[in-house]
Amino acid sequence: MTANVPRRRSLAKVEGRQALGFATPALVGLALFTIVPVVLSVVMSFFDWPTFGEKTFIGIDNYIRLFTASPDFWPAMRNTAVFTILYVPLNVGLSLVLAMALGPRIRGRGALRVLFFIPVVTPMVANVLVWKMLLQPQGLFNGASESWFGVTLPNFLADPQWAMIMVVIMSVWQGVGYNMLIFSAALEQLPESVMEAARIDGASGLRMQLSIVVPMISPAVFFATIMTMITALQVFVQPQLLTGGGPGNATQPLVQFIYNQGFKFQELGLAAAGAWILFALIIVITALQFGAQKKWVHYEH
Amino acid sequence: MKKIRMGAVAAIAGVAVAMTGCAGSGGASGSGDDGTIVVDMWAGSADDTKALEAQIKIAQEQNPDLKIELRTAPWGDFFTKLTTNMASGNMACVTGMNSGMLSSYTDGFAELSAADLKTAGLAESDFAPGATEILKNKGTMYGLPFDVATMLVYFNADQLAASGAATPAPGWTFDDFEATAKAATSNGKAGFAVGMGDFQWQALPIAKAGLQPVSADGELQLTDKKFVEAATWYGDLVSAQKVALPVASASDTGWGENQYSSGNAAMAVDGTWNAVSYLANESGFAAGMAPLPSEGGESLSLILGSGFGISKTCENKEDALKVLGSLLSADAQDYIASSGRSYPARAESQPLYFESIDEKYRAQVEEVFTAAFENVQGQYVSDNWSKVGTYVQPQLVSVYNGQETMAKVLESAQQQFAN
C-alpha cells in the first residue's frame, strides 16, 4: 500500500503535465481572445481613447460623463430596463404556457413545437423585414384594419410609445420557441411517481400545474429566466434594425448606445465605460436572482 | 518539470508569433510584403463591384509591375469597417472617401502635396471646377474625386401628368414646388417623399435658406434662423401641408428614395449619382429630373463627390499614388462616364456621360446637369459633422410625425456637437 502512493503521485504528475499540454492551446486562446480584450477594455474605459490619434488618461471621467453629461445614456438605460421588464416575464410566461399546452395529449405537438421554434433559427434580419412589412403604415396590419374596420392604426415604429412595445412583441415572437423547448424537455422529465402520488391525492387541472408541475420544473424556469434576462439586457439587433433606435432615442438600448459611441462617434473609451456599466448591471441582477432562488427553486437532492 | 515549462512557454510563444504573423499578413498597412496595393471602396451591389473591378483592371494594365487587390463593403458598413481598420493600423493604401464623411477620417489619410499629384500623374487642372475641393478639409487635400455630384429633384412624370400637376423644370421656384407637390397628392399617392439621409433631407433646406448648416470655417450653425425656418418648412411638408407620407421607422434610411422608386410619391430629392437608375426604373414609370427649386431667384446646391486617398500608414506610398493616378486617369474616368455610372470628376470625360444616356433623356439630363452644377458650393463640414447626422436622423422621424419640432432637434444637435 505504501509503495503504491509514490507511484500514484508520479502518475498524477505525468497526467497533470499531459493535461496541461492538451489545455495549452485553449488557454492561449482564452488569454488572447478573452482575458486580454477584457483587461484592455477596463484600461480603455479610463482613457479618452479615440479610434485613432492621441490617447489620454482621464481616470473615471468617462463614467462621470456618462452619468452626468451624456444626453442619450439615461434614456438608453431606461429603454433597456423597460425592454427587460416587459420582455422577460412575457417570454418566460408565454413559453411556459406553450410548453404546458403542447402536452402529450396534443396531436402533432412535434410539428407545433417546430413551428414555434422556427423564428429562433431564422436570421433576425429576415424576421425584422417581415415585421416591418406588417407594421408600417402601408403594411398588412394597417391595410387590413382600414379596409375591414375603417380604422387607421398608429404608425407603430415611428411612435415613441408604440415603437418599444413593437420591439418587445417582435422579440417575444422571435425568442419564445427557445424557452418553450427548454420547458418541454423539463416537463418530459417529470418523475411519474410524484405525478401519480399527486393524482392519488386528488390534484388535477390548474392546481396540479401550479402546485406540482411548476415547482418541479423550477430549476428549468430559473435557468431560462437568468439567460433571458441576460439576453434582454444585451438587446441590440431588434431595435437597431426595426426602429433604428428611434424615433429620437425612444428605443435605443444600452448596447446600441455603446455601439454608436464606439463605431459611429469613435469614442472607444466612453463606449468601454458604458460596456462595463452594462456588465456590472448584469452581474448584480444575476447575483440577486441567484440569491432569491432559494425561495422558489426546488432541487431534488 | 523544467523541460515541460520551457515547452509550454515555447508553445505559447509559437502560437503568439503565428497569430501576430497572421495579423501582419492581412496587410497591416494595406500593402502586403509582396507589394500588393489594396484598394478599399464601398460597393452596394454586384453591378457596383463589377464597375470597380473594371477600373482596377485599367489600373492594373497601366501598372503591370504592381499587384492590385480590391476590397469592398456596402456603404453602411464601409465606414464602420474603415474605423476599425484605422484603429488597428490596417487601413488599405488606397481608400475610398466621400465628401460628407471626410472630416471624421482625416487622421487616417496622408496629405496630398503637389509632388504627390505629380507622382500620380495628375494635375488639379484635370478636374472640373470645384472638384478638387471635394476631398479637402480646412484647405488640406486628402484625396481626389472620381465623380462630382449634386442633388436634384426627381419626378414621376406619369403621376404628375395624371394629377394635372405642373412639371418641374430648370428655373422653378419653391412656390412651384409646393404647388406641384399639392396637386400631385391624390389617390393615396403623395406629392413628395421626405428624405432621411443627410444630403437627401438637407438639400431643400439649404437651397431655400441659401446657406449651409456649417459655416465656411467649419463652425456648426444649425440654429441659424434662416436654416431653422427652411428646415421647419421641410418638416411641415409632412406634418402641416400633408403632401408627403410620414416615415415608417428611423431605420428606413432610404425612405424618400424608396417611396419615389416604388411609385408611392411623385417627387423626391436624390443625388445625380442615381440619375441613370431612376430613368430606367424597375417600376416602369416615366422619370424626369430638375435642379433644386430657387427662393427669390437664388438656389444654393452643394457639390459633392467621392474619390480616393492614400492612407497615412501606407508603406508603398509611391506605388499607391500610381494606382490612385490610374484610378483617376482619363481611361478610368472615360469608363465611368461612358457606363453612365456617375458624372466624372475629370472635365474632359464629362461629355461622355451624356452620350451614355438613352437618347430620349439625353437633352433633359444635359440641360438639368448643366443648370444644377452652375450654382454649387463645396460642402462645409464641422469636426463633429458625422455625429450630427447620426443624431439627427432618428429624430427626424419624430419631426415628420409632428411629435417634435425641427427647431428643437436642431438646437439640441447644435448644443451637443458645436466645436
Chain-chain contact of B387 with A32 (C-beta, under 8 angstroms): no
Longest CA–CA span in chain A (Å) reads 92
Chain-chain contact of A158 with B249 (C-beta, under 8 angstroms): yes
Residues 6+ apart with CB under 8 A from A273: A45, A62, A63, A66
With 70 as the cut, is the pLDDT of residue A67 above it? Answer: yes
Q: How far is B292 from chain A (nearest CA, A)?
A: 28
Q: Name the E strands within B133-208.
A: 136-137, 140-141, 144-149, 151-156
Which of left, alpha, beta for A266 (phi over 0: left; psi -120 to 50: alpha)?
left
Q: Which residue of B has its CA nearest to A49?
A: B87
* 3 state DSSP class of B401: coil
- Which of A20-24, A50-54, B212-216, B295-299 has the least mean pLDDT? A50-54
Name every chain A residue with its beta carbon within 8 A of the beta carbon of B15. Answer: 25, 28
Does B358 or A117 have the greater pLDDT score?
A117
Residues 6+ apart with CB under 8 A from A299: A219
- Residue B398 has its nearest CB partner, among A32, A247, A252, at A247
Q: Which residue of B has its CA nearest to A32?
A: B16
- Residue B249 has its nearest CB partner, among A17, A136, A252, at A136
Name every chain A residue with its beta carbon within 8 A of the beta carbon of B400. Answer: 158
Name every chain B residue with its beta carbon within 8 A of the beta carbon of A247. Answer: 250, 394-395, 397-398, 401, 403-404
Which regions in chain B score pLDDT beneath 50?
1-30
Q: Which of B383, B371, B409 is nearest to B150 (CA)?
A: B371
Q: What is the structure's pLDDT at B25?
A: 36
Name every chain B residue with its beta carbon within 8 A of the beta carbon of A52. Answer: 86-87, 107-108
Question: Mean pLDDT over residues A209-226, rounded?
Answer: 93
Q: How far is B266 from chain A (nearest CA, A)?
A: 16
- Residue A246 has its nearest CB partner, among B12, B84, B250, at B250
Stated pTM of the model = 0.82
CA angle B258, B261, B265 (to 5 degrees): 85
CB of A202 within 8 Å of a chain B CB? The answer is no
Separation between Cα atoms, residue B66 and residue B46, nearest integer Å: 25
Pairing state of beta strands B36-42 and B94-98? parallel
Counting one residue from chain A and one from chain B, the pairs whose CB atoms sit within 8 A come to: 115
Q: Which residue of A has its CA nearest to B5?
A: A17
- Residue A246 has its nearest CB partner, among B4, B19, B397, at B397
Chain-chain contact of B401 with A268 (C-beta, under 8 angstroms): no
Q: What is the structure's pLDDT at A104?
A: 79
Q: At what angle do helices A109-121 and A160-188 cross, to 10 degrees?
A: 130
Q: How far is A85 from chain B (nearest CA, A)?
A: 23
Q: What is the structure's pLDDT at A4?
A: 61
Q: How far is A251 from chain B (nearest CA, A)?
A: 10
ipTM over 0.85: no
Name every chain A residue with its beta carbon within 8 A of the beta carbon of B403. Answer: 159-160, 247
pLDDT in tens, A162-199: 999 999 999 999 999 999 999 999 998 888 898 899 98
Please report, for chain A, how many H helices and E strands are present, in that order. Answer: 15, 2
Q: What is the structure's pLDDT at A50?
A: 85
Binding-face residues of A in 102-161 toward B, CB within 8 A = 132, 135-139, 155, 157-160
Q: What is the structure's pLDDT at A156?
A: 93
> With contact defined as beta carbons under 8 Å apart, do A275 and A262 qualify?
no
Chain-chain contact of A244 with B401 (C-beta, under 8 angstroms): no
Q: What is the structure's pLDDT at B276?
A: 85
Name every chain B residue with its beta carbon within 8 A of the beta carbon of A160. Answer: 398, 403
Q: What is the structure's pLDDT at B13?
A: 43
Chain-chain contact of B249 with A52 (C-beta, under 8 angstroms): no
* 3 state DSSP class of B30: coil
Question: Mean pLDDT over residues A267-277, rounded?
Answer: 94
CB of A52 within 8 Å of a chain B CB? The answer is yes
Q: Which of A185, A165, A187 is nearest to A90 (CA)?
A: A165
Chain-chain contact of A52 with B87 (C-beta, under 8 angstroms): yes
Q: What is the structure's pLDDT at B299?
A: 85
Chain-chain contact of B387 with A246 (C-beta, under 8 angstroms): no
Chain-chain contact of A249 with B19 (C-beta, under 8 angstroms): no
Mutate to test the interface with A, among B251, B255, B406 (most CBs of A within 10 A): B251
Binding-face residues of A in 167-186 toward B, CB within 8 A = none
Chain-chain contact of A268 with B397 (C-beta, under 8 angstroms): no
Side-chain half-sphere exposure of A134, counting CA atoms within 13 A? 11
